Structure 1
Amino acid sequence: MRRILAILLLCSTHSLAQQPVLRFSVAESWSMPLIRIEHQQPVEGILFDLMQVAAREAGVRAEYHLMARLRLQQALEDGDIDVRCYVATHWLIERPGNYVWSVPLIQQRDLLVSRSADLAPINPEQLPAQAIGTVLGYRYPTLDPLFSQGRLRREDSRNQQLALQKLEAGRYRYAVSNQLSLHWFNRQLPAAQRLRAQSVLEEQSLGCMVRNDPTLPTQALLRALVRIKQSGEVERIVQRYTSQDAAGQIVSGSTH
């Protein structure tokens, strides 16, 4: 019996070794519910589950490379990674020609967030000069002109969770957060203390970009992403990490 088990284990190990490897980038700026990192490797979260399912569906082995967000562009250009997920075309300063885009996978809303529920929904252009909580390396198309003009100034944090923690601690009156992260952050707070979304800054569809190399199973992964999107698996993954309460909902009358 032990011999049979040893043979099965050997076959399984050999099969895994024969699988093509795709190098997925993981941005250090991501936090839950997108991803949780332990010992430099992702262990859970929406994006981890998505990449794991996609790799399994495509018959490849995922290899995760943790790197600073500002390093991602150069890594793409140098061919140091094969797949970058949770990205939009307009986020890239230059679009590498040797990558193919997947179907849109996740809809993201970027929100202007405050501590007080008493603040009325506000247009960012109406804000007086002040610091806004932001994430290092993130671009904010709605706010960038105001930052450039000096009407508002960025106060960068290493990741989204830290930006929200500083807002909760009163370091500034407003911060920018994606809706998923806001929901996750608010789950730990009593209803009266939850951070509030005051306006929608951006709404965009995010997908993956896959290196177009004849030695890689590029099309297999792209087809796998189509299948898991069409099957509703992406929505089920998001649902596993999304609370059912009203934490972080957009207040009525918010701008878009």
Structure 2
Amino acid sequence: MVFVAATNHTMPLASFADGKLSGGLLKELGEAIAQRAGRQARFVSVPPRRVASTLAEGSADAVCYVLPEWLDGNFNWSVPLIPDAGVVVARADAALLKQLSQLADRPLGTVAGYHYAALSTTLGPRFRRDDAPSMEHNIRKLLLGRMQYAVLEKTTFAYLQRKQPGLGLRADLEFDPFKAQCAFSLRSHIDIAEADRAIASLLQDGSIERVLSHYR
């Protein structure tokens, strides 16, 4: 079972070594799904702009931690699996934000290829994206003072705070909660019913919750 690993992810979702997925929640989750389906997991690393096309052409079977509005194309979708939300992270010396509208016309660290529905709706043409290849790049830019605010995922920021509590960053706003899913290629040799059974079994016996707990 071949899973796409988008290279714009950072820990706890994914870590890469020599361009290959080497660890993280998505690796452990993919291995659990494949094993429950009686298969072996393999991972192919691709830039975010190629995730949908890699799936659509059948070069991979699935990608996890996605939503239908994030991927262009037709795919088979799993049930929701991974709860998360967006957070606006600020430097300690940045003005405290109380609502998303305060970000109008302010440069905001974003990830290239990501769609930020709540920010686009709230800010409209005053949404000033400052795109980087990954969340890790945006964290570095915050720490270097190149920007005051960036958007991260709640899971990513919580993991970062646990690993490096002295960074001097804070989460000002949480928004747009979601439960991420897995998308399966229509050209996959994996029957969607087989994948659904594997995921349902993992949910039922608590295996997915145990995977998630390793990174909370």
Give the alignment's TM-score, normalised by structure 2. Answer: 0.90
1:44 to 23, 26, 29: 23
Deviates more, 1:233-242 or 1:44-53: 233-242
Contact 1:27 1:68 (C-alpha < 8 Å) held by counterparts: yes
1:142 alignment partner in structure 2: 118
Count of aligned pairs: 216
Gaps of 5+ in 1: 1-21, 243-256
1:129 and 2:105 are equivalent in the alignment: yes
Deviation at 1:194, TM superposition (A): 3.6
Q: State how far apart, in whole Å, the 2-side matches of 1:41 and 1:121 are.
A: 38
2:211 alignment partner in structure 1: 237
Deviation at 1:205, TM superposition (A): 1.0
Contact 1:33 1:180 (C-alpha < 8 Å) held by counterparts: yes
Deviation at 1:161, TM superposition (A): 1.4
Deviation at 1:118, TM superposition (A): 7.8
Give 1:112's aligned amino acid: V
Q: State how far apart, in whole Å, the 2-side matches of 1:214 and 1:71 are.
A: 17
- Cα distance change on mapping 1:119 and 1:235 into 2, 3 Å: farther
Gaps of 5+ in 2: none
Deviation at 1:232, TM superposition (A): 1.8
Q: Residue 212 of structure 2: SS of its match in structure 1?
A: helix
Larger radius of gyration: 1
Give 2:80's aligned amino acid: P
- Cα distance change on mapping 1:225 and 1:194 into 2, 3 Å: farther
RMSD of Structure 2 on Structure 1 (CA): 2.1
Give the alignment's TM-score, normalised by structure 1. Answer: 0.77
Q: State how far apart, in whole Å, the 2-side matches of 1:106 and 1:184 are.
A: 15
Q: State how far apart, in whole Å, the 1-side matches of 2:25 and 2:192 are.
A: 22
Deviation at 1:147, TM superposition (A): 6.4
Contact 2:58 2:188 (C-alpha < 8 Å) held by counterparts: no
2:158 alignment partner in structure 1: 183
2:60 to 75, 81, 103: 81
Q: Which runs of 4+ in 1 moved over 6 A?
A: none
2:195 to 216, 221, 226: 221
Contact 1:186 1:194 (C-alpha < 8 Å) held by counterparts: no
Deviations, residues 34-91 of structure 1 (Å, cap 9, x unaligned):
1111233222111110000110110112221110101112223222221111111121
Percent of matched pairs sharing the same residue? 29
